[in-house]
Each structure stands twice: as structure tokens, then as C-alpha cells.
Structure 1
Amino acid sequence: MSADGFTRMSIYGINLDLFSSSPIVILKVEDENRYLPIWIGQPEARSILMKIQNQSFSRPLTHDLAVNLVSELGGTMERVTVTELRDSTFFAKIHLQIDGRSVEVDSRPSDALALAVRSGAQIFAADTVIEEAAVEFEEAIEEAPEEEVVDKFKDWMNKVSPDDFK
């Protein structure tokens, strides 16, 4: 656990729930072997993946527009936080700096993460959420061959459902 109740995370990847065909964004606890799976919508998954894969478009997409608006209004996105898990639903906040003051905006985690990958904002999750919903692997996934990592997540995803996070 961290001192302030939040732990730094990074986006490990996006996978597909084989049962529901819903995308899952997988956050990784930095310097640990724990992963936080969050079921998200198709549009948000596409938005996150497009930015991670450095795809660009001639016109701004919705999440690009939101980041541009904050910037043009003199603000910056400092961080996003996954704040709680309630009734199988994750909640998040976007933390902005505008004219020297801190502003918190309620958000779905999927939108907050799509904004974070565009703005460079840091990603955090509440320690209580990590304790409740994170998956831990015995060995470091980064050290395993990619096929083995995919197989481990597929095995885990075959056994898990959103109801497991109640």
C-alpha cells in the first residue's frame, strides 16, 4: 500500500472478454506483478488503442478534443485516479490544474484513461480498489514469452466475470 492511499499504475494492454466480447483495459501496478482489469466500452477501447499505437487523424476525435479544450483554457491534466469499485462498477476522477487551482472531475475510468494517454497524465488507483480487484501472477509477466503471457490472461479471463469483482 502507498502512503496516500493511491498507487501508480500504467496501461499494460487491452484484451477481449471471451464471454461478453467486451474489451478489458488492464492496468499494471508499477514495479509489481499485480494487474487491475477494468471492463470498458468498444469506443473507449478503440480510443485508447489508437493513441497507444500512435495513430493520428486529420481531425481531433472526442478524447483529443477534450484534451485540447483543457489546454486551450489554460489547464493541464495532472493525473487520473480509479477511485472505487461499487456494485461491479469502477469509478474515476480526472485531476486538473486550472489557473493555479486543483479541480477534480468525475469520470468513467475508460474516458479518464483515454484522456491520460493523450495528455501524459499519470494514472493511479486507490489501494482499496487494487486490494479488492487486482489479479496477481506468481512470476513477472515481462519475463515470460509473449505467447505464455497471452495464454495466462486467456486462462484467467475464462474463469473470471464482472460479478467476481463485487
Structure 2
Amino acid sequence: MIGLEVVGIRLLTPEDPPVLLLREEDGTRCLPIWIGNQEAAAIASALEDEVPERPLTHDLLAAVMTLLEPDMGTVIIVDMEDGVYSAELHAGGHAIDARPSDCVALALRLDWPIQCPRELMDQVGVEVEAASTDEVEAFRAFLDSVNADDFDSDNP
């Protein structure tokens, strides 16, 4: 297993879904994982150490995990098949299947390590240039412009 660091979220274009970048520790390759806007917002708020007035879903899960698993857990990005990544949350002697974005949002809140098999990085890892501040600011502006109604399933 190799350790992964959260580089951040990138937007290729405003119309495309956000991309979560996980870089190998002491390396230059990244796992690019396309994620939803809500998950991107949850990860971005954890990266910015934002504390909401009321706990959001990932904050609630982090609080529950702290109660149930006082020792450190681990997030493992297990594999990628047909363009879809799989992840597991390892805690309390259990491996729980979950989306990578949810696992990363939780790991950031709990300061848990994120890992992947070296074979996965060798298979799908890509070299990625450092994000420009313009991209980060564009994503922050996007997050500031969305509200809960934007994610309503009846809203096209």
C-alpha cells in the first residue's frame, strides 16, 4: 500500500464534474477521481477547516466514528473498474464498501490515512501539474453560488 495525500479539487471546465486529486506520498502521480458537486463541497469544506453551524452528513458520520472507533481507521481506494473507483473504510476490524469521495471527506475530518495498492497507482496514476490559484478561486466561487435547490432531483 502507498499513502495518498489530498491535493484538492479541480474543475476542468465549469460544466464538467469536479475531479478529486489524490497524490502518492513522496511522488508525483495522482489518482484523478471524478466526484459529485456535493461531495466536492464536503471535501473542500474539510480542506478549509470550515465548521458548519449544524453538522452536515460527513460531520455526523465523523462524530459517530469517533465514538465507535476511538483508534484510527484507514481509507483504502481499492481499485478502478470501467472508470469507477471503489473504496473501503477500515475501522473496528471491519471493511465497509463506500464511495471514494465519501471516504476522503470522512478521512479529512478524522485525520485518517488514505491509501491505495501500488498496482492501482501504476495502472491509473497520472502526472498532474500543480493547481493554479485561478482554478481554486473558480471552484470557491462555484461553491459560493450553489444552494440546496440546485441539487433537487426535479431540477434539470
Q: Distance in 2 between matches of 1:17 and 1:26?
A: 12
**Is 1:87 aligned to 2:121, yes or no?**
no
Once the two structures are TM-superposed, the CA of residue 17 in structure 1 deviates from its matched residue by 2.8
Structure 2 counterpart SS, 1:132: helix
Number of aligned residue pairs: give it.
135
Change (3 A) 1:64 1:34: same
TM-score normalised to structure 1 length = 0.74
Change (3 A) 1:41 1:147: closer
The 5-angstrom pairing of residues 95-134 of structure 1 reads 95-97=90-92, 102-134=93-125
1:111 partner amino acid: D
Query: 1:29-76, CA deviations, whole angstroms, 9 ceiling, x for partnerless residues?
Result: 111111111101111100000011111112110001011112223544
Change (3 A) 1:131 1:74: closer
Once the two structures are TM-superposed, the CA of residue 77 in structure 1 deviates from its matched residue by 4.6
Structure 1 segments (4+ residues) deviating >4 Å: 74-77
1:116 partner amino acid: A
Structure 2 counterpart SS, 1:45: helix
Task: Supply the RMSD in Å over aligned alpha carbons.
Answer: 2.2
> Percent of pairs identical after alignment?
31
Once the two structures are TM-superposed, the CA of residue 84 in structure 1 deviates from its matched residue by 0.5
For residue 152 of structure 2, what is the aligned residue in structure 1? none
Once the two structures are TM-superposed, the CA of residue 18 in structure 1 deviates from its matched residue by 2.0
TM-score normalised to structure 2 length = 0.78
The 5-angstrom pairing of residues 116-155 of structure 1 reads 116-136=107-127, 147=132
Given candidates 9, 14, 32, the residue that maps to 1:37 is 32
Structure 1 counterpart SS, 2:120: helix
5+ residue gaps in structure 2? Answer: 136-156
Given candidates 14, 18, 34, the residue that maps to 2:13 is 18
Q: Distance in 2 between matches of 1:24 and 1:74?
A: 29
| 8 Å Cα contact 2:10/2:18 also seen in 1 | yes
